[in-house]
């Protein structure tokens, strides 16, 4: 009869180890932080103190290990592994050029956003291009997976399907079939018999992810795992789960919209913060080759409070629309509501506009929205936010073919941002004829189809746009 692996309970905050579970960690004082983990076997000491004599009496330094070969970096040979392209351009772009053999990719997103559909499409495309794909479903029955595959435009009939949640069976099947790509949906449903905890707890998720990572590296199988998202928006399970894998992808989007954004927050084989845009259709997800056109498609010429800026998502410039609405407050305390923008940054800009440009928001409700479900994280969009707010207060529309690119300082000054030329080129491609940028950030050799206007302060910008 096989002996069960010994387990311990370790605190996720301080790392203290306990033989049994308890509600409070005695070391750091935190509650409910003990999780079950596998205990590493202790090495057996050499008889007669031979190891101690070989290491000059330091026996603890020699136990349980062998001397390893340490080549110099200049002596390491080899080349980068060839990537597999799926034919889904936006997906390959986010990964950095395609799937890397032996890599492990974590795909997270809210329920119903389309993670399973995307990965089943990837499996179908990989299979059609000559590589073998294995789809491991721990949440859905084979019939449910087949019904989804029948709705897709791609044919997934040749994809191998395994409906299993036991990790040992998943790895044994993968080792026997030797697929090029293996998809595990999801990591929270897979469990190992070596741990007594229920599937989805911290110990199970971390141990299963570590073993799948080891399987991917040893066999060269590119492994994709689906991760559930918590209420806070992070991937459920320990934060170390994101450190284990090679690439972390977040699938984002509003349930009321038909487009989705795939964002890389970690990538060992490419640049981070790249995005890919998809449109959800009856036949699955379709890549959007020009995201700027999607986000600017419904703009009107006469609406006030609308401004356009150019963001850099990784290496890709994307034009997005900023909408602002300032209305008379109906209650004693005005509201400040921001969607896709940091609320504290909005409060800072309102204070700057009040102090430096004479716009008083103390009796106005302020609503700010980044169109299309995008998130405005870099400061390059500050100028567009300020222009949209002023446009709503004055109730006068901004020039329809103008873009606003720049960071706003506490003194009301406009600061330049990086890679202005690439942002201007994207704006020119989308039909913009004028771009308001920082005076020190006007490029010497910018695109010919767009005129860069340098402004020093937000007050000067408002005088140029609204006159006086």
- pTM for this prediction: 0.75
Cis ω for the linkage preceding 186 (within 30 of 0): yes
What's the CA gap between 311 and 426, in Å, rounded? 10
Last residue of a domain, one of 288, 307, 335: 288
Last residue of a domain, one of 236, 266, 288: 288
First to last CA, the chain: 88
Tell me which residue of 294, 244, 299, 8 sits closest to 106, measured CA to CA: 244
What's the CA gap between 50 and 44, in Å, rounded? 13
Give the tokens for residue 315: 């290496």
Phi-psi region of 314 (alpha: psi -120 to 50; beta: other; left: phi over 0): left
Are 272 and 180 members of one domain?
yes
Are 263 and 347 members of one domain?
no
Q: Could you tell me which residues come within 8 angstroms of residue 23 by beta carbon, excluding any fewer than 6 positions away?
A: 31, 32
Number of folded domains that form the chain: 3
Q: Is residue 415 part of a domain?
A: yes
Are 282 and 320 members of one domain?
no
Helix (H, G, I), strand (E, B) or coil at 143: helix
Give the tokens for residue 125: 């495309």
Q: Is residue 55 part of a domain?
A: no
Q: Is residue 388 part of a domain?
A: yes
Q: Is residue 262 part of a domain?
A: yes
Are 239 and 368 members of one domain?
no
Q: What is the pLDDT of residue 2?
A: 45
Neighbours of 406 (CB within 10 A): 31
Q: Which helix (H) or strand (E) holds 135?
A: strand 133-137
Q: For residue 232, with 0-12 CB atoms within 10 Å meaning exposed, 13-18 middle and 19 or more buried, which class applies?
A: exposed
Q: 102: domain CATH number? A: 3.40.50.300
Tell me which residue of 214, 213, 233, 243 sits closest to 225, measured CA to CA: 213
Q: What is the pLDDT of residue 51?
A: 46
Please spell the DSSP secondary structure of 300-324, one letter per residue. Answer: -SS-SSEEEEEEEETTEEEEEEEEE
Which residues participate in the annotated binding site for ATP?
A: 109-116
Q: 432: domain CATH number? A: 3.30.230.10
Q: What is the pLDDT of residue 445?
A: 83
Neighbours of 33 (CB within 10 A): 18
Q: Is residue 191 part of a domain?
A: yes
Last residue of a domain, one of 240, 258, 288: 288
Are 330 and 276 members of one domain?
no
Which residues participate in the annotated binding site?
A: 109-116
Are 267 and 349 members of one domain?
no
Are 131 and 25 members of one domain?
no
Are 312 and 198 members of one domain?
no
Q: Is residue 62 part of a domain?
A: no
Are 373 and 453 members of one domain?
yes
Structural domain containing residue 27: 7-38
Q: What is the pLDDT of residue 255?
A: 65
Are 340 and 266 members of one domain?
no
Are 205 and 340 members of one domain?
no
User: pLDDT by residue for the chain (468 residues), tens digit each?
Assistant: 445 567 788 787 677 888 888 999 898 888 888 877 776 555 555 555 544 444 444 444 455 678 988 989 888 876 666 889 998 989 999 999 999 999 999 998 888 889 999 999 999 999 999 999 999 999 899 999 999 999 998 889 999 999 999 999 999 999 999 999 999 998 989 999 988 777 887 778 888 999 999 999 999 999 999 988 765 555 656 566 888 999 999 988 776 677 888 999 999 998 887 889 999 888 889 998 888 888 886 676 778 999 999 999 888 899 999 999 999 998 888 999 999 999 999 999 999 999 999 999 999 999 999 988 788 989 999 999 999 999 999 999 999 999 999 999 999 999 999 999 999 999 999 999 999 999 999 998 878 889 999 999 999 999 999 986
Q: Which residue has the tokens 């189809």?
A: 449
Are 258 and 139 members of one domain?
yes
Q: What is the pLDDT of residue 54?
A: 47
Q: Is residue 74 part of a domain?
A: no
Q: Is residue 360 part of a domain?
A: yes
Q: What is the pLDDT of residue 278?
A: 92
């Amino acid at each position: 009869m096989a002996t069960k692996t010994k387990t311990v309970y370790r605190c996720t905050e301080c790392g203290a180890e306990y033989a049994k579970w308890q509600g409070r960690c005695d070391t750091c004082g935190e509650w409910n932080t003990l999780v079950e983990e596998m205990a590493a076997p202790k090495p057996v000491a050499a008889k007669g103190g031979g190891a101690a004599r070989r290491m000059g009496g330091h026996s603890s330094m020699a136990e349980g290990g062998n001397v390893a070969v340490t080549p110099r970096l200049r002596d390491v040979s080899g080349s980068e592994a060839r990537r597999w392209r799926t034919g889904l351009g936006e997906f390959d772009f986010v990964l950095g050029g395609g799937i890397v053999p032996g890599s492990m990719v974590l795909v997270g997103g809210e329920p119903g956003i389309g993670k399973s559909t995307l990965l089943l499409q990837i499996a179908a495309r990989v299979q059609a291009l000559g590589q073998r794909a294995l789809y491991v479903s721990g949440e859905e029955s084979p019939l449910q997976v087949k019904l989804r595959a029948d709705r897709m435009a791609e044919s997934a009939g040749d994809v191998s399907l395994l409906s299993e949640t036991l990790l040992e069976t998943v790895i044994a099947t993968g080792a026997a079939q030797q697929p090029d790509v293996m998809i595990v949906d999801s990591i929270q449903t897979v469990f190992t018999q070596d741990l007594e905890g229920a599937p989805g707890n911290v110990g199970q998720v971390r141990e299963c992810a570590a073993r799948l990572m080891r399987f991917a590296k040893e066999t060269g199988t590119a492994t994709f795992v689906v991760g559930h998202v918590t209420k806070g928006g992070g991937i459920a399970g320990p934060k170390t789960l994101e450190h284990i894998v090679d690439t972390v992808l977040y699938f984002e989007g509003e349930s009321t919209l038909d487009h989705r954004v795939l964002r890389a927050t970690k990538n060992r084989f490419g640049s981070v913060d790249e995005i890919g845009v998809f449109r959800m259709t009856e036949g699955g997800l379709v890549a959007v080759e020009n995201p700027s056109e999607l986000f600017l498609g419904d703009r009107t010429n006469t609406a006030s409070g609308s401004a356009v800026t150019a963001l850099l998502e990784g290496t890709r410039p994307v034009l997005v629309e900023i909408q602002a609405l300032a209305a008379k407050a109906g209650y004693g305390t005005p509201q400040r509501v921001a969607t896709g923008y940091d609320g504290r940054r909005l409060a800072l800009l309102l204070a700057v506009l009040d102090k430096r440009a004479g716009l008083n928001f103390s009796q106005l409700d302020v609503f700010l929205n980044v169109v299309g479900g995008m998130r405005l994280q870099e400061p390059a969009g500050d100028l567009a936010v300020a222009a949209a707010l002023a446009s709503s207060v004055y109730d006068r529309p901004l020039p329809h073919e103008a873009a606003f690119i720049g960071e706003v300082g506490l003194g009301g000054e406009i600061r330049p941002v990086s890679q202005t030329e690439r942002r201007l080129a994207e704006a020119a491609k989308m039909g913009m004829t004028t771009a308001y940028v920082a005076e020190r950030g006007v490029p010497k050799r910018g695109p010919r189809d767009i005129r860069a206007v340098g402004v020093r302060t937000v007050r000067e910008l408002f005088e140029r746009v609204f006159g006086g």
